[in-house]
Amino acid sequence: MVGQRHIRSVLTAFMLVLPVLVLVSVVFAIARDIPFWDDFEAAFKFLCLNTPDKLRHLLDFHNEHRIAIPRMIYWAITAIHGQIDFRTAIMCGDCLLIAYLVLLGRQFAKHVGAVVFIPFIWLFTDMANYENFLWSLTSMQSQGVMLFVLASLLLFERRDRSICLAGSLASAAAASLTSASGIIVWPCLVGMAVKDWLVEDGRYAWGRFADSTSLKSLFSPGNSMAFIACAIFLVLYFQGFSNHPGAEVDHSAEIAAYPHPILAAIDFFVTFCGAIVPHRAVALPLGIVVLALIAYIVVNSARIKQTGILFLLAYTIGVDFSGAVMRSCMGGARAALFYRYEIVTITMAASVFFCMTVLWRDRAQVLWKWLLRMAIVLAVLANIAIFTLGFPLLLERDKLLHDGIYAWPEDITKLRCGNPQRDSTFLKMAVDAGIYTPPRPMTDGHP
């Protein structure tokens, strides 16, 4: 019996570590010191400033995002290497992903069992997420914001300790200064405070809102600090805010297929919920199922004591809603399937599975074991299939990156960017300032 338990533990550990090792190997093999798309503006424009101007513009918007954390990483890499190295920046972003997986995996191991996390770690690391893995800005943004959000929520569970409260608020600030979606963590912290105050013996005590004495207890020092920080941060964040719906790409034909823009937003919202399978024909019906499960979880949320994961789910719903409002104009449901969103959609699915395991595992053990086994098999097969079919596409992407940077400055149209004229100017500024040296066939070993 002890031997079987030991074998099971070793096998579980192997299944959790293997996909991460494969991901690290792929990143080391394919990550390049070549800017891609937003990297030109986000990195070069900032790094060409002098130090006082860097400090002055650290919090400036990049599209809807205040990207102070990615800018500081770019700045630190430049200070260490003497030049910006996008390969190092990519690896920094992927280290944030690994930290996120460790933190999320620990919650699964602690509350529902490490084996339940196996299908999700294989999905988090599959090559469908290649934009998150290999695009420096998105690597730091999309993966960093998830780490900071989860850290904030888990630390807020222990807010009775001042150091945890400070860490939670600092992590929420870091999330907000990594990606615009990070600001959604602030209302989640408020929601956690209200939920913990409202629950009594596994039920919501709605009468507390009418009890002035009980209502005062809601405003404990820790909760009050969170409420004040939320209000101040949101007000300051939105100073000078404007939406940037991806103007470089024309999506008018896709939007014209919808009778009304609100239908595009609804289609985005539902499809996003099922985008763990990034194919429209599957994602839409799967999204309806996921929304039904979320409704069940909300109704029974008072029974879920793991509020950090519960509000991680709330965070992903908030990201989905904001995307439906601000990104559905980029093709409706098609925009919901953008690969760089997959870390959020997989987190949503993982959070739903976690909460349903808490609520249902003891009631339907046999069914739950079969569902878990099926999920593991499907996730592993999907990872292997995507890697096998997608690796040639990664090599083609790598060739296009090299072709673009090799052709510059004689031919700027081959640069992998949103606006060749503008981004070539940023690249020239960086090269002239000695901040970046474009790779050449004779120096990096690529023909």
Please choose, from the candidates 278, 297, 290, 286, the residue with its C-alpha nearest in 3D space to the C-alpha of residue 341: 278
- How many DSSP H helices and E strands does the chain contain? 22, 4
Please give the C-alpha separations between residue 57 and each of 54, 66, 80, 244, in angstroms, as whole numbers: 5, 10, 21, 19
Residue at token pair 């900071």: 148
Q: Are 358 and 112 in contact (CB under 8 A)?
A: yes
pLDDT by residue, tens only, the chain of 447 residues = 557 777 888 999 999 999 999 999 999 999 999 999 989 999 999 999 999 999 999 999 888 889 999 999 999 999 999 999 999 999 999 999 999 999 999 999 999 999 999 999 999 998 888 888 999 999 999 999 999 999 999 999 999 899 999 999 999 999 999 999 999 999 999 999 999 999 888 888 888 888 877 788 888 888 899 999 999 999 988 888 776 655 455 555 566 567 677 888 888 999 999 989 888 889 999 999 999 999 999 999 999 999 999 999 999 999 999 988 887 777 677 788 887 789 999 999 999 999 999 988 766 677 788 888 999 999 999 999 988 888 888 889 899 999 999 999 898 999 998 889 999 999 999 999 999 999 888 654 444
Q: Are strands 65-66 and 203-204 parallel, antiparallel or unpaired?
A: unpaired
Entry pTM: 0.92
Terminal-residue alpha carbon distance, the chain: 57
Distance CA 304, CA 157 (A): 13
Distance CA 153, CA 162 (A): 15
Helix axes 342-360, 261-273, angle to 10 degrees: 60
Count Cα neighbours of 343 within 13 Å in the Cβ-side half-sphere.
Answer: 28
Cα angle vertex 60, ends 55, 63, to 5°? Answer: 150
Distance CA 335, CA 71 (A): 26
Q: Are 270 and 263 in contact (CB under 8 A)?
A: no
- Go through 351-378 and write b for each residue having 16 or more CB atoms within 10 A of its CB, e for each that does not: bbbbbbbbbebeeeeeebeebbeebbee
